[in-house]
Structure 1
């Protein structure tokens, strides 16, 4: 027994030392995305005024990257380095072109106390190496062009790096709410900082046309402006609690007695943005969404519809008419200017969410369908897409479309962008058909969904290759991107919050494709100070130690630990929003009477995190039932139809089944709207206060002992809400009402006892 004890102790000590060593490594090399191979070495390389920059003989090929490196050095020590093409034995940064590297973005770093050598095959590889060096430099270099450090130290290492996926993208919708040129450049800078390489710009939609088309000036003089709508009203209501939700007044004008919202980019402005992105090796892919989502264009040019009318059909807005040659002339004219403006080989046609009722009612479309042997309006949409693709090819471009382009038939040369999580076989069908696929499923890659404590982990654990593909078929997966749809993102600060730091998790998935979530979180903690310096209004790490609805029996205790050492937590009790002058929350705060707190964390630069509203109420322990239930598991009642709230669920289910967990069995609903009611029992192992966490897409409400514990009702993207209940030891009746609006659904119920680790029910 004694030898077993010694061995166990030795292992525990070894594991402790290993964990400490790993944490120190993450602090010394806080790189996101983490390199494929990094071997730490002792010592550091020092960049100072005496350091030389040794460039390749063909330096003109890498002029942009040399300039970027020099600008980075100047941000640190206040001056650029003397340059030479002659080998230098002393303290130097040496750029070497390495044609043996297989990929355009591959690079190596050899850092010793004597020299820092960068190897790359192409300019893109050198730029990715420079980004890695930037993340290893002090955060104080950020936010200005000329630094005041005497020297900058880079930790010694051997590094070899390359991306796993060619498409590492972000999408930004500038149509629903508009963003300035300066914000586009800030957005591009953040993509570059984390080695992303694609920016998909959603330039047009029902709410606004955002790019100048010289042949059709009304697209911007009329189509770029609108009166405030119901989505703006929601934002303005939320702005009462969160100033980031306020409509940006920079994009509001007053004309002809009307208040109008909007804006657009001139072609000259967009050329400048494209060049800015290209210098950072980011490809901008334009999207002019058609034949649906075209109300902004139709307002300007009503001839584009089949009957000259516009409005909304059963599900979506009236589309342009694919049965009229004038429509194709318009589409080709628009894309001719887009093709000339954007150097990317890809153009995105959209082709999603098309309301086809006006086509079905059109005699003109009936003639076109008959002439082309088209049986359905889905085939008519395919006819439009394929005809536009031929035009794209004539311009030397590749067509990308949302996954609806599968309906009615798809050309093998089109690229499919998969978003409908409730159609899981779409990317598989496309890949097996020979199409290239970009993965962007709504859950977890729609970054317009309000983030919660699970969001970062959900993105980090996303697998780009869908199940069911062979190794050979998986080669059709180009990569992935996250999308930011801006109906409810009215400001640049709100946009920052919605995609940072989630984008850093996606960046590591797509570049490294190796799971190390604990290491990633440690490195991310080191990144926050850099983001502060860059003026990024990122979402701060979640606060823990409470639920939204809290209970106490005799007295409660509010105890919140700051997840970052320099974070300050402030609170109010009068209903006001915590600000920089609000009281600092003590380490422990006794609660002896029902009360509501508003709590928020602040970074050193004043960036405020989520505003938590914590309600405390006093209640007695709920009585347990006397006997153990006869059956285990849960009864699930299934209700067909659309229920926007759980209160609308009827008492007569369409079917009933049994399940072992509080979850919706896979395949139930088949993408249609439905409701479910799960009923069973929860065993409380001791008399205590229990915290429950209910994650829903769309909505749900948890009841225990007929008490409402968590209300997460209404249709919304995946979101977690929490609450508490005081329970006696024993069995307690439990019910979850759930509603799904159609599409992908999520239902997860977890609990914790006395603030311990979360457990699945």
Structure 2
């Protein structure tokens, strides 16, 4: 009997010793961007200290170096690289026929095979291996764990070749270590183009040896309104704090700034190249050039530098010295950046100074140009020819379409309200990069440009032909830094939306699904934590507007969307909430006029503060009238009013009955105002919210009380107000003063906390 027991124990021990590497389930794996196809197989490959890497040729060098670097830091492994076939190895194998960036990855319990046709494909395969590994692979210090790579079979290729991110260094500066960190994060998600906006009105950020004043003086400014806005915000949110290292004494004055030396630029370019990322420089011209004109005033039309009504004065395009200056700068720039493209900006140029400049007008006449827009195109063509002589391609923002394009120019489409720009460019055969404000401006708040909105945005316009679609180089998201003064704030604006850009740029339209993507994003947060990324935490909902009460009201808070490990903390005394404040678990009742502030935390990462005031309201009694007609009276008054308050309520019976509040045929009219009047029916006692949306301006009254003040002079916008109403009929008046191009007037209502619906004849009469 003892022999049998011994045999059984030996068998169990033997089986446990040869137990295969663990298998992984689909829900345990997250690779972003989503591969074209992925099959999960049984078992996994274990990377150990003696695991070999089989290396064939130089196209695999960057991928191999990156992979060995990860294991060297996180595991303490010095993986041996060999050029002969061995067992239980990570094998890089060159195959022909795959498009640029494409790869095949085969992981089994006995080997990893990464296959591609060129270095970008091999590097992308390593990033997929990186995401298959435990998140500890991102550690900068040695970690003792088992390094299992799930068995998978992947075939993958990118949709677009331009998969980009942009950083603006002019408005606020970011140092070289922060740039390198950002490049590492781009590499992880297979983004391959890094656009550096290096010059603008607010600061010159690249050393130009021929013109030393550009950085000696132009890189430093007296703190401006963009700085003070951020400093004011930093009182309640440290993400808006400006790094003190970006200030220094210049001519006895404290100034903000910074710049990259040419050696630092070379270091950034080399660091990016090791990660198969191309760095695109942007030197903005002929507008947005104040930081240069300040120090070289001969560049402007009249020797002056400064701001006009909206934009700064541009350089003079009637002087040869301007062209010489620009080419001298670009001659140094092209020597620093091996990239195929050089971006010259060309956006938001104030042409007013050219209209009165004798030099510019002379140039227009001499070159047979139609107007100032063609003068800018003439300048662009001259700069393009210079860049071509240096082996570079010309690129600018979509304003360069106005005035005409050469066949070889390239366009970044940012103004989604100008859909003709990319169409004209694509028809002309120009390369187009889609980077519209509609989805890809990441300086816009996450609450407005949501992760879902970014993901579901189709970059190629629906009216593009197959030939025009082929001219779309790819997509890019931009991080303009007017209100991004710190690297943590930049990460907060970029993540997780950068993952949506990565998948939009990589996956085919047919291979996209937001629900699947969102599940994959949730699995990425622990990796982002390991990388030290300060990402966006979903906003707190429930404090978006003032809250009114008569006796008391319940306050209900929630997150914009669920995120594991995220908790809400709040205060009732107007102080800034921390993790030591009240933790929100369920709705709570308030019956006093107080200020509530709340924010969510995930670990030590917190989001933007949300706050609101709790206001006490007395009920407004109804009036005793009899409704004869449903709907509202509408008067259309002739003549233009300066203010909404200038509109007088007519006493005439010359009105039109309307069933709803809408512009309708009035869109075609000029110089008029509108008054709506009647009675609103409150179905029950309660606090009611009213909302208007208009261009130009409007005011909404219940009785004599102005509930919504949407006056002023503005484009289409919403405003709201609240009032406590007793059940019954209440006089309602809406005054509307349209803009010069009337576009919209709408009005909605609802009980506080409920969905708003249109004010129409169902709830009105006279």
Q: Is the counterpart of residue 32 in structure 1 residue 29 in structure 2?
A: no
Counterpart position of 1:129: 125
Distance in 1 of aligned mates of 2:494 and 2:675? 34
Q: Offset of 1:266 from its aligned partner?
A: 0.3
Counterpart position of 1:45: 44
User: What is the SS of the residue equivalent to 1:73?
Assistant: helix
User: What is the SS of the residue equivalent to 1:369?
Assistant: helix
Is the 1:634–1:680 Cα contact (8 Å) retained in structure 2?
no
Distance in 2 of aligned mates of 1:666 and 1:140? 63
Change (3 A) 1:548 1:122: same
Counterpart position of 2:568: 569
Distance in 1 of aligned mates of 2:621 and 2:438? 39
Counterpart position of 2:13: none
Is the 1:621–1:728 Cα contact (8 Å) retained in structure 2?
yes
Counterpart position of 1:520: 517
Counterpart position of 2:113: 117
Q: Is the counterpart of residue 531 in structure 1 residue 528 in structure 2?
A: yes
Structure 1 unaligned spans of 5+ = 1-23
Q: How many residues align?
A: 723
User: What is the SS of the residue equivalent to 1:568?
Assistant: strand
Counterpart position of 1:211: 206
Counterpart position of 2:85: 87
Is the 2:44–2:108 Cα contact (8 Å) retained in structure 1?
yes
Is the 2:49–2:78 Cα contact (8 Å) retained in structure 1?
no
Change (3 A) 1:557 1:47: farther
1:674-712 superposed Cα distances (whole Å, 9 cap, x missing partner): 999999999988877778899999999988898787889
Aligned ranges 1:10-409 → 2 under 5 Å: 27-41=27-41, 43-49=42-48, 52-58=51-57, 60-90=58-88, 92-101=89-98, 103-142=99-138, 144-409=139-404
User: What is the SS of the residue equivalent to 1:66?
Assistant: helix
Change (3 A) 1:751 1:49: farther
Q: Is the counterpart of residue 487 in structure 1 residue 485 in structure 2?
A: no
Q: Offset of 1:714 from its aligned partner?
A: 8.6
Q: Offset of 1:110 from its aligned partner?
A: 2.1
Counterpart position of 2:611: 613
Q: Offset of 1:337 from its aligned partner?
A: 0.5
Name which of 439, 452, 461 aligns with 1:457.
452
1:243-291 superposed Cα distances (whole Å, 9 cap, x missing partner): 2223321111123321111111000011001111111111111111111
Is the 1:547–1:691 Cα contact (8 Å) retained in structure 2?
no
Is the 1:547–1:722 Cα contact (8 Å) retained in structure 2?
no
Is the 2:632–2:677 Cα contact (8 Å) retained in structure 1?
no
RMSD between aligned alpha carbons? Answer: 4.3
Change (3 A) 1:749 1:208: farther
Q: Offset of 1:640 from its aligned partner?
A: 9.2
Change (3 A) 1:631 1:699: closer
Q: Over alpha carbons, which structure has the higher Rg? A: 2
Range with bigger deviation, 731-740 or 312-321:
731-740
Name the TM-score, length of structure 1 as normaliser. Answer: 0.83
Distance in 1 of aligned mates of 2:483 and 2:66? 36
Is the 1:44–1:153 Cα contact (8 Å) retained in structure 2?
no
Q: Offset of 1:212 from its aligned partner?
A: 0.5
Distance in 1 of aligned mates of 2:332 and 2:209? 8
Q: Offset of 1:57 from its aligned partner?
A: 2.6
Q: Offset of 1:153 from its aligned partner?
A: 2.7
1:88-147 superposed Cα distances (whole Å, 9 cap, x missing partner): 444x3332222232x1211122233443322222221121122222223333333x3333
User: What is the SS of the residue equivalent to 1:318?
Assistant: coil
Distance in 2 of aligned mates of 1:326 and 1:272? 32
Range with bigger deviation, 244-253 or 681-690:
681-690
Q: Offset of 1:84 from its aligned partner?
A: 3.8
Distance in 1 of aligned mates of 2:82 and 2:632? 77
User: What is the SS of the residue equivalent to 2:470?
Assistant: helix
Distance in 2 of aligned mates of 1:538 and 1:44? 33
Is the 1:449–1:718 Cα contact (8 Å) retained in structure 2?
no
User: What is the SS of the residue equivalent to 2:127?
Assistant: helix
User: What is the SS of the residue equivalent to 2:575?
Assistant: coil
Distance in 2 of aligned mates of 1:715 and 1:460? 34
Q: Offset of 1:342 from its aligned partner?
A: 0.3
Change (3 A) 1:257 1:380: same
Distance in 2 of aligned mates of 1:154 and 1:722? 54
Change (3 A) 1:678 1:476: farther
Name which of 541, 553, 556 aligns with 1:556.
553
Aligned ranges 1:737-756 → 2 under 5 Å: none
Distance in 2 of aligned mates of 1:591 and 1:301? 62
